Structures are given as structure tokens and as C-alpha cells.
Copies of this chain bind each other. A is one copy, B any other.
Amino acid sequence: MGGDHAPHEIVAGAVHAVRERGLQVVLVGPPRILYEALADHDATNEIPIVRAEEFLAMDEGALASLRRPRSSIAIACHLVRRGDASAVVSAGSTAGIVATGRLRLKPQQGVLRPAIAVALPTRPHPTLLVDAGANADAKPEMLVQFAHLGTAYAELAHGLAQPKVGLLTIGAEAEKGNKLVKRAHELLQNAPGLRFTGNVEGHDLLTGAVDVITSDGFTGNVALKTMEGAVRYAFHQLGEAISESPAARVGAFLQRSRIRELRHRLDAEAHGGAVLLGLNGTVVIAHGSSRAPGVSAACALAADLSSGGIVTRVGDRIAALPRSHRLW
């Protein structure tokens, strides 16, 4: 029931995931609404519905998850906790998902705070941004944990050996940043088990300079949305520039498919969503503006992660750190 285009695009994405990807999907929400949406696809026999009459609105935050213990996201987390589902996918309010996930699935042993990991579209492999929005007010020790969670995820999900970790701040030198980041820099420099290569800046998000970028959730979220907005802006401007002259229009026609491909790759939808790390259970957060293809991609990511036990194994890294390696 979450997302700007719920329930129709969410349901369409679920149908796609079942029919095109061979996944098993359960929908959670008000049965009548979901049944009707499924009927539009003649899919009422293919996808079971689990009842949840309430849901969190897109503008609701963490508190709503306490006020509405029977919301669709709460019931979905409950299914995972009981073992009746392998993962949760939601395009709903990020704050609501994070709060509900913490409440229902609990953080893994030793994890101070679950964090949102987003794979940025760098090549040959994505750069992972952690935390992209779960913890607006973080402590320096949390940034070290985010680095550990991101390192484990990059190893397990992206197959990297000894991923490079960078700290998001406003200059390359150790003393550049706010108090939080300066203290985190000191901790990261002395953190065993991490390959910390130093500070990175905003323009390093898409250069592949490091494999994992650690950040508090406020800065990470502002950076992520700024990146998305700037890429969208550049393509929009390009579209306008192209349509201004006949010669340019012919040119645009000739290269249209390349641009479409590229745009698709950079599109937030194609990423398949963000992953909540550090919880006892797999939660994938699809972009709030997701349409069916984005929802289907998020389901595929969730299935991949849960079949490999990736999220659990990522969090295990925190519990498995020798006491001497813990800085919290």
C-alpha cells in the first residue's frame, strides 16, 4: 500500500515479478482493494493476499508505526519474522519502514542502528552508500558500523574483495568536515577490519573512487536525492536543447535508443531499491515513485538477497568482530 502509485503500480509490479521472474509474491493490505487491482491483471489466482486494513501514509513518519501496529508494513514484517515470507518489499514512507522494521524484526546482535544501503550506478560495480536515510542524527561510532555493514554487503552481494571505504565529507584532508565526521574519521583510521581510504566528497559518489561510502543518514539522503535530481535535470535540459533546432532533432532521432538505454540505467527505478542492513530479516525499500518495473526489480533484489542469506550474513559481521575491533 506504500508508494506514490499504490496500489495499482505495486500490484502490477508484483504480477510482473510472479509471471516474468518466477518469484512467489504475497500482497499485504486491504483485501478488497488488492483483489480488484489483481483482477485487472486476471491474477487473483496467482497471488495470495494477507489482510491488513490499515497502512501508513507517505507523509507519515516513525511515530505512525507505533500508532498503527496492524499496518500493512507491520504485518509484512510479521510474516518475515514468523518465517511465512522471506523478505519485505515496500515503496512506502522510508521513516515508517525503518521504524516498523526496527520494532518488528529487531536489530541484529551488536548493531547500534539499522542503516539504508543504496547501490549507486557506477561501473564496473556499484558504489554503496550507507546510510542513505535511516538515521538523521548519527553518532561517530555508527558511521564505523555503517562502514562494516557496507563492507560486508559489498563483499557478499557485489563479490568484492576488501572493498575500499570512504567517508562522505567536504574535503580530502582529515580535518575537513563537521564534528561528527571529524571524530568518525579518527575512529575509521583506527578501525581494524576495514580498508578505509579516507574522505570522499559529493562529486565522488559517481566516480567509483571507493566501493563503500559511509555517511550519516541525513547527509546521505540529501546527497542521494541531489544526485537523482541533478541527473534528471541534465537529461531534461538535454531534451530541451535537442528539440530546439531541426538538425539537432534529426541527430536526436539517430541516437535516441542509446539515450533511452542510458537514461534507464541511471533511473532510480532500475536500481531495484535500497536495502535495510542490520535487521533480522530482509527489507527492500523501493523508490517512493516506483512504477511496476521498479517494484518488480525490487522483488527480484529481495529474492536474491534472501536466498543467499545476505542481509543476515552482513549483520553477522558486527557480532563476529573481536571485542578489540569494536569501537562502540
Contacts and interface: CB of A to CB of B under 8 A. Distances in A.
Interface stretch (A8-16, A143-151, A218-226): A218-226
A101 to B, nearest CB: 18
Interface stretch (A27-35, A77-85, A102-110, A176-184): A176-184
Nearest to A177: B136
Interface in A238-257: 238, 241-242, 244-245, 247-248, 250-255
Contacts of A226: 202-203, 205, 223, 226-227, 230
B262 A251 contact: no
Interface in A45-75: 59, 61
A322 to B, nearest CB: 32
A161 interface: no
Interface string A153-191: 000000000000000111111011111010000000000
A52 to B, nearest CB: 23
Contacts of A204: 229
A294 interface: no
Nearest to A60: B173
A162 to B, nearest CB: 25
Nearest to A237: B262
Copies in the complex: 2
Interface of A: 59, 61, 95, 133, 136-137, 168-173, 175-179, 181, 201-207, 216-219, 221-235, 237-238, 241-242, 244-245, 247-248, 250-255, 258-259, 261-262, 266
Given A170-B218, A250-B251, 19 more contacts: A59-B172, A133-B170, A136-B178, A137-B178, A169-B222, A170-B225, A178-B218, A202-B221, A202-B226, A202-B229, A226-B227, A227-B227, A227-B230, A230-B231, A231-B233, A244-B258, A245-B258, A251-B254, A251-B255
Nearest to A204: B229
29 contacts: A59-B173, A61-B176, A136-B176, A136-B178, A137-B178, A169-B222, A170-B218, A201-B225, A202-B222, A202-B224, A202-B226, A202-B228, A204-B229, A206-B233, A226-B227, A226-B230, A227-B229, A227-B230, A231-B231, A231-B233, A237-B266, A241-B258, A241-B261, A241-B262, A250-B251, A251-B251, A251-B252, A251-B255, A254-B254
A225 B226 CA distance: 10
Given A202-B225, A241-B262, A250-B254, A176 B231 contact: no
Contacts of A168: 222
Contacts of A59: 172-173
Contacts of A205: 226, 229-230
Contact of A136 (B170, B207, B216, B245): B170
A48 to B, nearest CB: 33
